[in-house]
């Protein structure tokens, strides 16, 4: 009976293993995407703080990190679409090569995301201690070679916009409407009368005595 039962026992096929791997990779990509979005929000706040402190180089480094994260997030979302399509594909035998390639690319993406998340504690860059310098060195080493010249230009432009916005925020507010000018009557009413001199006062007194 045991032998008969074992013959009907379902076996895990290569197809099942591949689908399971794809699903695990899909879930990991989604998890990292949520963390990356949270990290970008934190970086944005820290960049503004650095700009207000006029720490331009540190702000530029974090802007590069933010750009790199956005690129990884976009790539991950594109790969996630591919993975979900493969999971739902019924003709597995025809896409087996694509599955292997997709798993390879997915593992590379996950490694990059994992390396980036090790530098998630972005507040370190605000410190004046050694940990800030160590953080900047690690971040620079991670980013180098992963941004194009076009990315660098966009990052520089974004920094200039932030700096200009910060400077504008320091200036006193200018009324956006015309300030009304005082009328002639109000000007006369508010004009300070010139006090009489002693000579004028003496003449006024004499005139009063004569008329009296």
Closest to 43 (Cα-Cα) out of 62, 68, 60, 56: 62
Name the class of domain 13-164.
mainly alpha
User: 0.75 cut: is pTM over it?
Assistant: no
Residue 130: per-residue pLDDT = 85
Question: 97 versus 187: which is more confidently predicted?
Answer: 97
- Give the separation between CA 44 and CA 62, rounded to whole angstroms: 8
Lowest average pLDDT, out of 59-68, 75-84, 103-112, goes to 103-112
Q: What pLDDT band is residue 187 in, cutting at 50, 70 and 90?
A: very low
Q: Which residues neighbour 86 within 8 Å (Cβ) at sequence distance 6 or greater?
A: 22, 95, 98, 99, 102
Closest to 28 (Cα-Cα) out of 90, 86, 79: 79
Cα torsion 28, 29, 34, 40: sign:
positive
- Give the separation between CA 142 and CA 144, rounded to whole angstroms: 6
């Amino acid at each position: 009976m045991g032998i008969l039962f074992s013959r009907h026992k379902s076996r895990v096929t290569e197809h099942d293993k591949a689908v399971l791997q794809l699903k695990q990779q899909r879930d990991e990509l989604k998890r990292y995407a949520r963390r990356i979005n949270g990290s970008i929000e934190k970086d944005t706040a820290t960049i503004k703080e650095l700009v207000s402190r006029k720490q331009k180089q540190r702000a530029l480094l974090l802007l590069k990190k933010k750009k790199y994260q956005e690129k990884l997030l976009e790539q991950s979302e594109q790969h996630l679409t591919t993975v979900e399509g493969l999971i739902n594909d019924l003709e597995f035998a025809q896409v087996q090569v694509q599955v292997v390639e997709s798993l390879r690319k997915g593992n590379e993406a996950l490694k990059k995301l994992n390396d980036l998340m090790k530098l998630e504690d972005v507040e370190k860059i605000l410190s004046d201690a050694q940990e800030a310098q160590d953080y900047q060195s690690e971040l620079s080493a991670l980013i180098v070679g992963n941004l194009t010249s076009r990315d660098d230009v966009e990052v520089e432009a974004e920094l200039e916009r932030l700096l200009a916005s910060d400077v504008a925020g320091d200036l006193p507010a200018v009324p956006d409407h015309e300030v009304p000018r005082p009328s002639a009557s109000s000007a006369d009413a508010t004009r300070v009368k010139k006090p009489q001199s002693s000579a004028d006062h003496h003449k006024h007194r004499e005139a009063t005595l004569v008329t009296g």
